[in-house]
Amino acid sequence: MNLSFFDQFSSPYLLGIPLILPSLLLPALLFPSPGQRWINNRLSTIQLWSVHLITKQLMTPLNKAGHKWALLLTSLILLLLSINLLGLLPYTFTPTTQLTMNMALALPLWLATLLTGLRNQPSASLGHLLPEGTPTPLIPALIMIETTSLLIRPLALGVRLTANLTAGHLLIQLISTATITLLPLMPSISALTALILFLLTILEVAVAMIQAYVFVLLLSLYLQENI
């Protein structure tokens, strides 16, 4: 059966049951459960240090009111980071290549930051729609533009994450297909293509980490505007 390059982005099924939910729960099983000791082994030490570093980077631009979101934002970046990196392994499925899932993450969190601002400081939140010192004739147009840019934020979050991961997966599959096809015909060209594939894989590991960080960082910046 011939498969297209986009079949890797379709959710796998087992006995008619979609396996996207187990693929979302798998990263949580990789983290050790807390024990009675502060430090269990080297792996736990590295994980605790990483979580501390990530939390510190995310909470730095926020004031004390935003520190209530530390657990949510840290859990979100660990989830995205684990899913993105595990999706680079062979014969795996990456849920974050699905726009529906990314929008399901981006839309409620963006809406929560917006409602937080409207509840705590409605005047300041609505004041972002109209820059200070705007000429009177430009007020209606600027309000429409700022409202559109505000409403497009969750779409930009979801599309950015989906597009970057999808493009990387497609490039890896295209170059790996070319490497296998050229191997019996031109071994030297195939070896060069394999080297490019190796470098691209390293790049995609960095992209997977950066995109998870950017997704959560933008959410934290949206939160900072509303607190």
pLDDT of residue 9: 67
Q: 69-102: buried (b, 16+ CB within 10 Å) or exposed (e) per residue?
A: beeebbebbbbbbbbbbbbbeeeebbbbbbbebb
Paired tokens of 212: 């998870």
pLDDT tens per residue, range 128-168: 777 777 777 877 888 888 888 888 999 999 999 999 999 88
SS3 14: strand
Residue from 94, 57, 102 nearest 221 by CA: 57
Query: How many other β-carbons are positioned within 10 Å of the β-carbon of residue 208?
Result: 24
Using CA atoms in the order 93, 206, 69, 147, what is the torsion angle rounded to 10 degrees? -90
Hey, which residues does 13 pair with through a beta bridge? 18
Positions of the chain with pLDDT lower than 50, given as ranges: 1-2
Residue from 79, 82, 80 nearest 162 by CA: 80
